Homo-oligomer: A and B are copies of this chain.
Amino acid sequence: MSSDPKSQAALKTALTEAARLTDAALESLLPLPAGYHARAQEAMRYAVFAGGKRLRPFLVLASSALFDVPQGRALRVGAAIEALHTYSLVHDDLPCMDDDDLRRGQPTTHKKFDEATAVLAGDALLTLAFEILADPATHPSAEVRCQLVALLARAGGSEGMIGGQMMDIDAPNQSHGPDEVILLQRMKTGALFEFACEAGAILGQRGPEDRERLRGYARDFGLAFQITDDLIDETSTAEAAGKAVGKDKDQGKATLVSIYGVDGARDQAEALARSAQDAVAIYGPAAAPLEALPWYLIGRES
C-alpha cells in the first residue's frame, strides 16, 4: 500500500500550514535590519524568505505532535533547523563551492548581495540556530535545550552535514560505489533530517526507543528523498525543476540513479518510503502526516 489521495491531500494542507507557522516564527526570530551592519541581516532575511518547502520544520512539528509537545516549542526548533539549513544553502551556492546563480528561480544570496555578505549572512544564520535552541522559550528544561544544541551541532558539523558537503566536493575525484553514495547522502542531508525527526522525541522527553525509531524513519525517507532529487536531476528540465539540472552527470558524480538506473532507483525509493511509513505506524492516527510524507516526496517533480 502506498498512500491514498485523501492522506496526500491532508498532508498538503499540513505542509502548507507548517510552512506558514514556520515563516511567522522565523519572522519574529530573525533580527530586524538596523544600523551600519544592516546589510548582513537583510541578507539573512533574503535567504530565509526566498521560499522553500520548510520540510525540516514540518518534520519537527509532525514528530512533536506524536508526543503532545506544545507547538510553540516545536516551531522554535523548526526555525532553528531552517536557519541552519538556509546557511548551508547560502554557503553551498558560493562561487568557490557549487557556484549557483539561481535557487528556487531567484538570484542566490551572493548574486543578490555579494560574496562577503553571503558568507557573513550564512555564518550569522548558523549562529542564530544555536541561540534560538539555547533560549528558555524553547523548552523549560535546560537539559533538553542542551541536548538539542549538542545534537544539532553534531548533525550539522564536520561528521555530519559539513563532512557530507566536503565529501561531495571531492566526489568527482573518487570512484564512489553505492555504500559511499549512501554515506554521502546520510551525512550531507540525512543527518539534519534525523535531527528534525528526533527533535520531537527530545522535546517530548521520550526514551531511546522513540528517538531511534524516529531516526530510522528519517534515514529511510531521507534516502528516498535524495534518490528522488537525483531522479529529477537526471530526468527533469531546468524549467520544471526551477533549478539547474544534470549537474551531477556533467561533473561525473556517482548517484544511486547512475549506479542502479532510473527504474532501479525508483523501486528503491518506493521500498524506502514503505519502510519509513511502517516505522511510525505504531503511533496511530497522530502519525498520519509522517506516514504520508515519503510518498509525497517521491512523487514530486521539483
Which positions in A face B, CB cutoff 8 Å? 31, 35-37, 39-41, 44, 87, 91, 94, 96-97, 114-117, 119-120, 122-124, 126-128, 130-131, 133-136, 141-143, 145-147, 149-150, 153-154, 156-159, 162-167, 169-170, 174, 180, 183-184, 187
Contact = CB atoms under 8 A, between A and B. Distances in A.
Given A135-B150, A136-B146, 10 more contacts: A36-B180, A37-B163, A37-B187, A97-B116, A123-B126, A126-B126, A127-B156, A134-B150, A134-B153, A149-B149
B40 A158 contact: yes
23 contacts: A35-B167, A36-B174, A37-B162, A37-B163, A37-B166, A39-B170, A40-B158, A41-B163, A91-B119, A94-B119, A97-B116, A120-B162, A120-B165, A120-B169, A124-B163, A126-B127, A127-B153, A130-B130, A130-B153, A134-B134, A134-B153, A136-B146, A141-B142
Given A114-B96, A126-B127, A158 B31 contact: yes
A35 B168 CA distance: 12
Given A36-B170, A36-B174, A169-B116, A41 B96 contact: no
Given A41-B158, A127-B126, A36 B167 contact: yes
> Which 7 residue pairs across A and B have the least CB separation, nearest first?
A96-B115, A131-B153, A37-B163, A142-B142, A134-B149, A124-B158, A40-B166
A97 B124 contact: no
Contacts of A36: 166-167, 170, 174, 180, 183-184
Contact of A37 (B37, B87, B97, B158): B158
Nearest to A138: B146
Contact of A134 (B146, B158, B159, B187): B146
Contacts of A126: 123, 126-127
A188 to B, nearest CB: 10
A163 B116 CA distance: 12
A38 to B, nearest CB: 8
Contact of A123 (B91, B142, B143, B145): B91
Given A96-B115, A123-B162, A157 B128 contact: yes
Q: Which of A41, A96, A114 has the most CB of B within 10 A?
A: A96
A116 B134 contact: no
Nearest to A117: B166
A154 B166 contact: no
Contacts of A167: 35-37
Contacts of A184: 36
A116 B130 contact: no
Nearest to A110: B96
